[in-house]
Amino acid sequence: MKKSWAPPPRPYCFLSLGESGRKEQAFLNTHDWALLYADPSSPDGEIETKGYFLRFSSLIRLALEGMGLPPAREGNPDVRPLDCQSRRSWEETFSQWIDRADPRSMEACLGFFDFRCLYGEASLADGLREAIRTRLRTGRDFIDTMALAIIKTSPPLNAFRNFVVEKSGAFQGHFDLKTKGIKPLADILRLQALENGVKET
């Protein structure tokens, strides 16, 4: 793939998100990633650079789908601008999430906080992580909203100490280990990591 493309206009790195970012996947059956590139030096450079990486990201997505790895997140199958941003734009995006602390959109953005560098310039991811840690020091509302969402999560056991199983659908009568077992634990660990400035969630 590298041979068929012109050299990238700026340094970049692929960010692995969500379960993959937390290294908790036993079997990789979906992909959830984003692209982070260094800030261009001019507005004209931003247009050219973003266009390059949007096309590059689209090619990567198609290649992964061709290998049987569909996107983990629902929505437009094409690469969305949110998934491909400059260092400065990513910092602004995270700052908006932290400032708004919106319970309605909290679930959709949390996986982004679990990012890790999968390929490329790791220093870009490290710099973004440090900026997020700095912003969270004054973003107590975001942490509190996360904690409230965790508290509202239904326990996996009912009053008779039996597992709460699915009531309908293809898995009716089965226990959803991912949603009712692993996810609440991951949410708690993420909260602790972000609140205490741990580098990885």
What DSSP element (H or E) covers 145?
helix 140-151
Q: Two tokens at 180?
A: 């009712």
What's the average pLDDT block by block, 10 residues per block, for the chain (201 residues)?
Answer: 75 90 66 90 87 89 78 50 87 94 86 92 96 92 90 68 70 70 82 82 55
What DSSP element (H or E) covers 12?
strand 12-16
Give the C-alpha distances (Å, rounded to integers) separating 189 from 25, 183, 197: 16, 10, 12
> Mean pLDDT over all residues of the chain?
82
Tens digit of pLDDT for each residue in 121-154? 999 999 999 999 999 998 889 999 999 888 877 7
**Backbone Cα Rg of the chain:** 19
Q: In this structure, are residues 30 and 72 in contact, taking their beta carbons and an 8 Å threshold?
A: yes
How many C-beta atoms lie closer than 10 Å to residue 181's C-beta? 13
Which residue, chain included where needed, has tokens 């949410």? Answer: 187
What pLDDT score does 79 carry? 39
Q: In this structure, are residues 103 and 144 in contact, taking their beta carbons and an 8 Å threshold?
A: no
